Structure 1
Amino acid sequence: MSIHEQDHVFMLERAGIKVSIDKSSLTVKVEAGDATWETVPGAASLSWGLTPTDRIGIPLSSATKKAFSTIVSGTFKGVHVKVGPFSANGIEYGVYLNLSLLLNSHNGELVFEVHEPDGEIESISEIVWPGGFRFFGGGEADYTAVPAMQGYLIPGNWREPVRRYHQGMMYGRDAYMPWWGQYQDGHGYLAIIDTPNDSRLSVEHLPSVHTHLEAVWLHSLGRFEGIRRLRVRFKKGLDYVAMAKMYRSYVHSLGKLRTLAQKQALNPKLEGLSGAAVVHTGVHTRIAPESYYYDKTDPEKNDFAVPFEERAAQLKELGRRYGDKLYVHVDGWGLNGYDNLHPDVLPPSPTGGGYEGMRKLQETCNEEGILFAIHDNYRDFYHDAASYHPDLTIKDGEGKEEFSDYWAGGAHSWLCTSLSKGYVERNYDTLKANGIEPDGVYIDVFAVIPGDECYDPSHRMSRTECLAYRASCFEEIRSRGMLISSEEPADWAVPHLDLVHHAPYALDPGPGGGPAICVPAPLFSLVYHDAIVVPWSLERGAWGIPERDLGWLHGLLNGGVPYLSIQPTDGELEIVRTVARLHGLVGFAEMTGHEYVDGNWRRQRSMFADGTVVEIDLDEDGYRIMMADGEVWTNR
C-alpha cells in the first residue's frame, strides 16, 4: 500500500482501491475496481449554534487554513486534516477541526474520523465528515438501502420525495440500525456508523436529480469529545442482501449478536415464544381531560375497565379454542390504568380487581400454559405520580423540563434515565411480595426513542449513558427470570430484548397508516431475524403495514409471530395458526436471503437457514411456503 502527496491531492492506494482527497475542496474520490464514488462538493461542513434558530452551516472547505499530514498506524495508512478557523457573515469562528481519512491495508476498508476539535468549540452543534457520495442512479436496478424501521429501498428512478420522521436520529424510526448502502451498475458500498449514539442519518432524495445520504455527528452535552467514526466498504455485487449480511458480520465481530438460541439458554421461558400467538389486551383505561385521547362528546368513554377476572375467563376460553401457545401482553393493570401515574403504578387497579384480581389472572395463565406479561414505563414521568418532582426530570440545555400531555395520563415530563432502575427494582420487589411474578415485562418506548441527554447537574447524562441505563433496566428484568420486551427493535437494544411490540415498515405520512415509503425491504430481518421475536398485525393497512397490504403476509415473509384477538373469529384463528406454525419452524433461524420475484416489488421471496422458502403476492393476497423436505403450504 502506498501514500503520496501531489500538488492538489493526497493519494492512498492498495490492490483494488485508490482513494484521493482534494486539498482545497476536501472532496474524497474512491476508485474501487470499475466503480468510482465521489463525495458531494461542499457536503463536509459544521453547524454553529446549539439552537435551530441560531444555527449557521459552514462548509469545511471554506476554512482559512488547511494542514495535511500522513498517518501510519498498524494496518492503516492515511491523512490527518486540520481545518480552521472559519468565517461566515463577517464573523470569524475560532474553531479548528481534526479529521482523518484512513485506508486499511489488509481489507481495503475506508475509515473517516472526527477527533476532538480545538479552540472555540462550545457552540458546534453538528459536524458532517466526509459527507455523502454523489448518487445519480437512473434505473430500478440502482438503489439506496435505508434501515428506517424494517427497511426500504429507494430506486434510482423513484419519482416521489422521501419522508423522514425525526431528522434521521439514530435508533429512532428513521434508523433502527446504524448503516446504509448504495448500489449502482453492479457495484455497491456499505457505510457503517461505528460510533452511532451521537449521530443521525441524513437522507436527501430529489427525484430525477440525486439521492444523497450522510452521517451527521452531533454534539454530546455541548461538546465533541472522543472520536466519531464511519467505516465504508466497497465491493462488486454488494446488493442490499449482501449489505445486511456484511453488517450482521460486523455486529457479530463486536460480540453483540446474541441469538434467540443463546437467550433461551439463559431463560428457558423463551421456548414458549417459538410458534406462539401474541394477545394484546388491557384492564383499565382512564383518560385525563387534557389528553389528546380524551372524548369530550362522551365522557363515560374516558374511564372504563374490564376486570382481571373477566380477562382471565376470556383467555381461558381463547386457549380452549386456539389450542396452542399464547403470550398475553396486559396493558392498564396499574393503579390508574394504562399510561397513568408512571413510574408509581402500584397497587394494581382497584377498578380492575386490585392485587387479588391480578393474582387470579396470573394463576389462570399459569394453569393454561399462557405466558403472562405486563406493560410498564420508566421514561414518562406523570405529574400526578406520587414521586414526581421537577428535580428528577430530564432538563434540556437551557435547564428546562420537557413536557407533554398527549397520552392518556395527561401532563408528564421525562424521568431521567439515571434514576429509572431504582423504580424497576422497587416495583418488581413489591409485586413479588404480593404474589405476582409475571413471565414477561414490556418497558415502553426505551427501544424506539433515541438516547436522551440530561443537562441537570444533579444527574447529568449523555446519550451513551442513557442507553446504558436503559439496558440496565432490561437486564434487571431478565435477571428475575422474566422475558423482556420493548416497543421497537433499535439496534443497541436487540442483545437485551427477547421480543418487541412490532418492527413493521415506514409509511407516509406516518407509521399509523398510508402507503409505504419507497419499496419495503426486510433489512432488519436479514440482520436480526434469529435474534429477536417480532409480532405482526394481521389486518390490511394496519399500523406499519402499507395500506394495500395484508399484515399477515408480511408476517409470513418475515417469519414472525402473529397477533391474535382475545375474542377472535374462526377465520382469524385459521390465519394465526398458519403464521404461528411457520414461526415454530423458522423463528429461531437466520433469514438468509430475500428477493423480488421477477423484479416485481409486489411479489417477494424470503429464505431461511433451514431451507424454508416463503413467497408472497401482495396484489393477489397469496402465499406459498416450501419446506426443505418438499412439503408445500399455499392458499392458491
Structure 2
Amino acid sequence: MIIKAVQHETVRLYYNEETLHIAIESNGNRWQWDEMYQPYFNIGEQTIYFKDAGCIQHFNWKTGVGEGFRTKFSNFVVKGIESPLAFETVVWIEYATQNIYFELIPIEEAHELMGNFYWPGHMAFKEDSSKWYTVINMLQGLMIPNNWPHQVDKLVFDGQMCSSAAYMPWFGQIKEHEGYIAIVCTPWDAGYQVNHPEGSDFCHIGVRWLPSMGKLTYKRSMKLTFLENCDYNDLCKVYRQYAKEQGLLVTLKEKAAKNPLVNKFIGSAIVHTGIKTHVSPDSAYYDQEHPEKNDEVVPFAVRQKQMEKLKEAGLEKVYLHLDGWGEPGYDNQHPDYLPACIEAGGWAGMKALSDKMKALNYMFAIHDQYRDYYFDAATYDRAFALQNPDGSHIEFCRWAGGWQTYICASQAPLYLKRNFTELFRHGIQLEGTYLDVFTCNELDECTHPWHTMTRKECMAYRKSCFDYLVAHDILPSSEEVIDWAVPSIVTAHYGPYAFMLWPNEKPKGIPVPLFNLVYHDCVVLPWLMKEDTPQGDYMLYALLNGGAAYLDAEKEGGALKHEIERYQQVAALQEKIAQCEMIKHEFLDENYRIQKAVYSDGTEITIDLDKGTYTIQ
C-alpha cells in the first residue's frame, strides 16, 4: 500500500494509490472517504470501476498555485473490447486558500455514449448525533441530521444541479462544529446523490458528473473548503463570497438602480389568477367526473373589477400575475399562445385591463412558457424539438395541453421576441413576465445538427430570455430560484421549503433558509399564506424570511379583509428589509419550532410555530 501526502500550512492531503482513496486533515481534524467507496462510471448498462483500467499511472502534481496528485487511467475493456477511453484525476491543495480541488479531465473519449462518473467519493460520516448533519440546496434548503428518523435518498430531478434539486451548486457537512462546503465549480453537467437509510446513523453525499453530448467533453471541477467553529450559516457565507467572485451576486439595490420598477414591486401584494382554462381529454389533469370543469373563461373585465376593489380597500401596491391570457388557454399550444383570449375580450379586453392597471399604479404581469412544445401548436415542427444523444425525443402527456415534447432552448429567445413584438403592437403594457419552469426544471441538451446545444448553452439561452425582458423594462421571473439566473431575475413564483410542496410525505430533513442566507437581498420571494397546517402558519415563514405575500383576490367581505390584514403585516416588514442581507438563522429550541433570523440592518425576527406568534426587534 502506497500512501502519499502533501501539506500546506494547516491542511494535509493523503492519497492511497492502491485504493484511490483520499483523506484530508484540516486544523487537526481528519476527513476521509468512506472505506466502501470505489470510483466508477457507466457506459450503457455496464459499470466500470476506475481500478479496472488496464493502465493506471500516478504522478506528482505541482504548479505555481498548488500541489497534489495526478492519476491517468486508460486501457479499459468495454463489452470485451479495449476502449480508447482515457482520463485523468487531479487532486490538489491551492496555496492561496488551502482549498482542495478535485478535477476530472478527459484525455481521449470512448467510442460509446458515456454515462455518469461518480467521483470524488463521499465522506465517512457516521455518528448517531443531531450535531452531525448534512445540508443540501434542494428548494430553499434542507438540513439532514445523522440521527434523522426518515429515509433520505430520492431527490427532485434526481439531484441534478441547476434545477430545483440544487438552487445553488453546493452541499456541506458539519460534525459538531467542524465542517466543509463542497462547491461544484462546473455545475451544468452535474448532480448529487444522498443516502440516509431510515433508522441509520450516517449520511453519505457525493457528486456525479453527467455526460455532455454523450461524452466527458471537458474538465470537471469541484472544490472543498474546510472550516472551524462553524455551522450552516458559515457555509452559506463562504458560498456568498464565491457568488460575488463569479458575478452572480447582483443585489436588488443594483437592479433598482437600472429599473425603478424593482422598488415599486417590493411590498406588493402578489395576486396570482387566470383567464382561460382548457384541459385536453388526454391530459392527466382531465376531470372525467366533472367534464364541465375542464373549460372555463373569466373575462378580462372581471379581473379589472377585482383590481379596482383592491384599490378601494386601500391597497397601494399590487402585482397581478395573469395565467391563461392567450387564446389556447393555460398550458396549451405553447409557444403559439397568441392572440389574447377571444372569449375573455380579446386584445381590446386585455389592453383595457393593462390600461387600468397603469391607472391604478398597479403592476401587470403575465405567465408565458418556452419549454413545453405541444403537438397541436400551429407551428409545431419536430425538427426543432430536443433530440437526445441517441436520436430519440421525449414525448409525454401530463399538463393541460395534452401531448407534447420539449422545444430546443435555442429557439426560445426567437419565439419570445416574436410573441412579445405582437403584445407590444397591441399596446399591452407589461411590468412583469413569468417564464415558466426555466429556473425549476433541469437544463436540457440537444443533438440535432441544426441547433446542437449543451446544457451550459441551454442556461445561456434561458438567461437571454430574461435579459430580453430586462431590456424592455419588464421585471422577469420564473417558477423557482436558481443562482445562475440571479443577475437577471427579480422575483419567482416561490422558493419554498420542501414540506410546502409535499406536505403529506415524510420530511427529508429540517427546513433551513440556505438560499436566503446567500441571496435574500438579491431576489424577492413570495410566500404562500396558508394558516392551519401541521407545519404552522405559513405567514410566519414569510416574516422570518423577509419575503412577499400572496393575496387571494377572489375572496369577499370579512375573508378578504383578513387576507389584506395578513398581507399588510408581511409587507410592512418586507419594505424594511427586502434589500438587506440575511446575516444569520438559528433554531432556539430542540424541536426546531422556534426560529430566529437576523438581518444586516439589525432587524431580528423570531417565530414560534407552535404558538403561532412572532416578534420583530
Structure 1 position 278, deviation (Å): 0.4
Gaps of 5+ in 2: none
* TM-score normalised by L of structure 2: 0.96
Match of 2:23 in 1: 29
Match of 1:581 among 572, 578, 600: 572
Q: Does residue 550 of the first structure (1) align with residue 537 of the second (2)?
A: yes
Over 3 Å counting, the alpha-carbon distance change for 1:89 and 1:354 in structure 2 is: closer
The superposition leaves residues 377-412 of structure 1 with CA deviations (integer Å, 9 ceiling, x where unpaired) of 011111111111111111112322212221111111
**2:418 partner SS:** helix
Match of 1:266 in 2: 258
Match of 1:537 in 2: 528
Give the conservation status (yes or no) of the 8 Å contact 2:110–2:215. no
Match of 2:613 in 1: 622
Structure 1 position 490, deviation (Å): 1.4
Q: Does residue 458 of the first structure (1) align with residue 450 of the second (2)?
A: yes
Letter aligned with residue 510 of structure 2: V
Match of 1:611 among 595, 602, 607: 602
CA distance in 1, matches of 2:538, 2:498: 13
Match of 1:443 in 2: 435
Match of 1:63 among 29, 47, 53: 53
Match of 1:477 in 2: 469
**1:167 partner SS:** helix
Match of 2:378 in 1: 386
Q: Does residue 109 of the first structure (1) align with residue 103 of the second (2)?
A: no
CA distance in 1, matches of 2:53, 2:367: 52
CA distance in 1, matches of 2:38, 2:445: 25
CA distance in 2, matches of 1:414, 1:512: 29
Give the conservation status (yes or no) of the 8 Å contact 1:284–1:305. yes
Q: Does residue 311 of the first structure (1) align with residue 311 of the second (2)?
A: no
The superposition leaves residues 256-280 of structure 1 with CA deviations (integer Å, 9 ceiling, x where unpaired) of 2111111111111111121111000
Over 3 Å counting, the alpha-carbon distance change for 1:184 and 1:88 in structure 2 is: farther
CA distance in 2, matches of 1:158, 1:121: 44
The superposition leaves residues 453-492 of structure 1 with CA deviations (integer Å, 9 ceiling, x where unpaired) of 1121221111011010001111011100101000000121
Structure 1 position 332, deviation (Å): 0.6
Match of 1:633 in 2: none
Give the conservation status (yes or no) of the 8 Å contact 1:513–1:547. no
Match of 1:181 in 2: 172
**1:122 partner SS:** coil
Structure 1 position 140, deviation (Å): 1.3
Match of 2:108 in 1: 118
Match of 1:516 among 479, 483, 507: 507
The superposition leaves residues 216-236 of structure 1 with CA deviations (integer Å, 9 ceiling, x where unpaired) of 011100111221000101111
Match of 1:396 among 376, 388, 396: 388
Give the conservation status (yes or no) of the 8 Å contact 2:83–2:111. no
Give the conservation status (yes or no) of the 8 Å contact 2:193–2:206. yes
CA distance in 1, matches of 2:409, 2:79: 40
Match of 1:85 among 75, 91, 113: 75
CA distance in 1, matches of 2:570, 2:151: 34
CA distance in 1, matches of 2:37, 2:326: 50
Letter aligned with residue 537 of structure 1: L
Give the conservation status (yes or no) of the 8 Å contact 1:514–1:547. no
Q: Does residue 191 of the first structure (1) align with residue 182 of the second (2)?
A: yes
Match of 2:124 in 1: 134
CA distance in 1, matches of 2:374, 2:429: 25
Give the conservation status (yes or no) of the 8 Å contact 2:606–2:615. yes
Over 3 Å counting, the alpha-carbon distance change for 1:119 and 1:588 in structure 2 is: closer
CA distance in 2, matches of 1:560, 1:265: 20
Structure 1 position 72, deviation (Å): 2.0
CA distance in 2, matches of 1:85, 1:558: 53
Match of 2:287 in 1: 295
Runs of 4+ in 1 over 6 A off after TM superposition: 88-91
**1:195 partner SS:** coil
Letter aligned with residue 62 of structure 2: V
Match of 1:634 in 2: none
* TM-score normalised by L of structure 1: 0.93
Match of 1:630 in 2: none
The superposition leaves residues 289-312 of structure 1 with CA deviations (integer Å, 9 ceiling, x where unpaired) of 111111122222111111001110
CA distance in 2, matches of 1:221, 1:88: 19
The superposition leaves residues 487-527 of structure 1 with CA deviations (integer Å, 9 ceiling, x where unpaired) of 0001211211110001101239x636545321110001101
Aligned positions, number: 611
Over 3 Å counting, the alpha-carbon distance change for 1:281 and 1:496 in structure 2 is: same
